[in-house]
Amino acid sequence: MKTRQFFQTIAVALILTLGIFTSALQAAEAIKRVEPPFWWVGFEDTHLQVMVYGPDIAAMTPSITAAGVTLDKVIQVKNANYLFLNLTLAPEAKAGKFDILFQGEGGKGIVYSYELRARKAGSADRQGFTSADAIYLVTPDRFANGDPSNDSQPHMADKLNRADKDGRHGGDIQGMIDHLDYMADMGFTMLWPMPLQENDQQRTSYHGYSITDFYNQDARYGTNEDFLALTQQARARGMGVIMDMVANHIGSGHWWMQDMPMDDWLNFYQQDYVQSSHVHNTVYDPYAAQEDKEKFSGGWFDTTMPDLNQKNPLLATYLIQNAIWWVEYADLAGIRMDTYSYPDMDFMAEWAGRIMQEYPRFTIVGEEFEDNRAMVSYWQRGKVNRNGYRSALPSLIDFPLHAALVKGLTEKDGWREGLKRLYGVLSMDLDYAAPEDLVILSDNHDMSRLYTQLGEDFDLYKMAMAYTLTMRGIPQIFYGTEILKTSPEVKDDGKIRSDFPGGWAGDKVNAFTGEGLGKTEKAAQDFVRRLANWRKTKKSLHVGKLMHYVPQDGIYVYFRYTDQEKVMVVLNKNGQAKDLPVARFAEMLAGTRRGHDVITGQDLDITQKIPLGARSVTILEIE
């Protein structure tokens, strides 16, 4: 075997010397894309699939002669402009470059240099986000314009138009870097930007969910190197970055759409347009018709979002590798997966499982935008579903809890209404395999602003924010919620994701510095800052248990506690001050004499009763 490899190496050297193979420049012209563009040695899974794209590339025969690298299989597909190379990277494979030789007719060929990199020390053991963190969700285009020179790109159709609520406003990666100190000062430990990958669409491209290049950031945001700088500078401030990903669909401007690899790369590609029914229940419904299942999972999200067919094994591997590539390249602290229930369910189990295989302590949170606990819990790792489906996904966004929070605060208390909704939704946490790993949200980019949902009632706002920052799970705050941003009650994405004041030169209001903010807006910002920073040190909120009491007389009480620490939270919806007798809470308060009010800073005697302000939240550290 070694003798044969020796002679192959000599032959290649002679061919190169004679100039039969093309130069590197000619190779770049002949091969338009290689994805992943590079890889790493040292992964648990030693297999690598490389997509090679170039004019009639399938007519060429690839070969590799490199220590520790084996070309196991060459896969040709219907489109001759694609080749898929299945490689094995043995333990002895070293970081560095090796040549892939593409042999054509008449002795002509191409030499492509592919790179393997060394993984960062400790990469596999990276810690994902946990309930010790607080997440700050940002719409990058609407947060801050740190580099006006990239606002529009000559080769991209959707140009800067800040006057258009649905247009590009110019926010970018540099803008987020410039304001990492603000985020850290506010107490946030994780940054979740909406997707930054290229969205080369004709219009409404700012939201990021119409990806047209899986391996490159949108030039109007910056470069891959800029994104890496963001994660590095966030790490330097004790923060991590969560990457927003999409496996269900692509943008209609994706380069695949001009030259599709295979007929089944997309769902319903060969037929008339079929839109997803968006009826999530069909995934779980034991009585659902197959046609309904296929229409939900296979239908396009809309006309500009073609639906990917993850049952195609080549595409499935491509998407899995892309996620791992970004984790390793950008040193990610987590992934948020958009529209988690829409893709093929078996693929999603494999996708999450492969990532967790490489990063056992990592965190992935999936979006199942439903307020039904059974539908959300279906996708969490550890849940044993009646149909036998097992997920590998660590976390979900807790939309049911958010729906209960808004209704619980805004509707009149009744038999099951009002605060009873908060009690009721938590009492059913038995639906979840790990409720403490859920992400609980104040609001997000797909719903009206929290302050709007609460009728612009500041008292209710403080209750909601305190609840979000003290309840079990991982809190997530939407940018601008800390300064009482509002939106129309009827959902309007462009207005929900409005510009953060102070992110653009010439803004009259600067929320980063507080200049120009109103009194109530400043009070809201200070309130969130105080609680978010306080919770950083509270083990009872990070790993503690939860005990709550059935709401009575417009008052809801719950405790977060460990053996060493205890926090009591009281929501009082009444329009008047109350004295709360403590005898009912003896299980938690027996032997306790004093409590420290986190919000007011006062120490209280709680041997008999706890004074509650009208329409207020009280948070006590129990001695």
Sketch the domain layout of the chain as residue ranges.
Answer: 2-119, 128-536, 545-622
**Residue 6: what pLDDT?**
44
For the stretch 28-54, pLDDT in tens is 579 999 999 999 999 999 999 999 999
Indicate the pTM of the whole model: 0.95
Q: What is the pLDDT of residue 17?
A: 43
pLDDT of residue 347: 98
CB 87 within 8 A of CB 70: yes
- Tokens 């994902």 belong to 128
Terminal-residue alpha carbon distance, the chain = 73
pLDDT at 42: 97
Q: What pLDDT is stored for residue 89 in this prediction?
A: 98
pLDDT band for position 13 (cuts 50, 70, 90): very low
CA distances to 57, 82, 230, 237, 266 from 52, in Å? 8, 6, 30, 39, 19
Split at pLDDT 50, 70, 90, the class of 22 is: low
**According to DSSP H, which parts of 179-251 are helical?**
180-186, 224-236
CATH number of this structure's domain 2-119: 2.60.40.10
Please write the tens of the pLDDT for every residue from 436-463.
999 999 999 999 999 999 999 999 999 9
What is the mean predicted confidence (pLDDT) over 222-227?
98
Q: Write the DSSP string, 255-285.
A: GGGGS-S-TTSBTTTTSS--B----GGGGT-
Query: For position 218, what pLDDT does the model report?
Result: 98
Question: Given this chain, do its domains 128-536 and 545-622 carry the same CATH topology?
Answer: no
Alpha carbon distance 417, 374 (integer Å): 20
Judged against a pLDDT cut of 80, whether residue 92 lies above it is answered with yes
> Where does 545-622 sit in CATH, by number?
2.60.40.1180
The whole-number average pLDDT for the span 238-243 is 98
In the predicted model, what is the mean pLDDT of the chain? 95
- By percentage, how much of the chain surpasses pLDDT 70? 95
Q: What is the 3-state secondary structure (H, E, C) of 434-466?
A: CHHHCEEECCCCCCCCHHHHCCCCHHHHHHHHH
Scanning the structure block, which residue is given the tokens 């009650």?
489
pLDDT at site 107? 79
* pLDDT of 8 higher than 50: no
Report the CATH fold assignment for 128-536. TIM Barrel (3.20.20)
Specify the length of the chain in residues: 623
- Among candidate residues 99, 107, 24, the one with its CA nearest the CA of residue 63: 99
Given a cut of 80, is residue 98 above it in pLDDT?
A: yes
Please list, residue by residue across 389-407, b when 16 or more beta carbons sit within 10 angstroms of its beta carbon and e when fewer do. Answer: eebbbbbbbbbbbbbbbbb
Report the pLDDT averaged over residues 581-592: 96
Classify residue 25 as exposed, middle or buried by CB count within 10 Å of its CB (0-12, 13-18, 19+): exposed
In the predicted structure, residue 487 carries a pLDDT above the cut 50: yes
pLDDT at 187 over 70: yes
- Looking at residue 564, what DSSP letter applies? S
Measured distance CA(99)–CA(138) in Å, rounded: 41
Task: Give pLDDT, residue 489.
Answer: 84
Helices (H), 179-332: 180-186, 224-236, 290-298, 313-330
Handedness of CA 439, 443, 446, 447 (dihedral sign): positive
Q: What is the pLDDT of residues 262-317, one digit of tens each?
A: 999 999 998 889 999 999 999 999 999 999 999 999 999 999 999 999 999 999 99
Segment 527-585, tens digit of pLDDT: 999 999 999 999 999 999 999 999 999 999 999 999 999 999 999 999 999 999 999 99
Residue 228 near residue 218 (C-beta atoms within 8 A): no
Q: Which residues neighbour 251 within 8 Å (Cβ) at sequence distance 6 or greater?
A: 199, 200, 201, 205, 210, 211, 212, 304, 305, 306
| CA distances (Å), origin 202, targets 140, 199, 212 | 19, 9, 12
Quickly count: other Cβ atoms within 10 Å of residue 583's Cβ: 9
What pLDDT was estimated at residue 454?
98
Strands 603-605 and 566-572: unpaired
Which of 79-83, 271-275, 372-376 is predicted least confidently? 271-275
Q: Indicate whether 401 pLDDT > 50.
A: yes
Three-state DSSP state, 429:
helix
On whether the CB atoms of residues 63 and 71 are closer than 8 A, the answer is yes
The residues annotated with a catalytic role in the active site are 338, 367
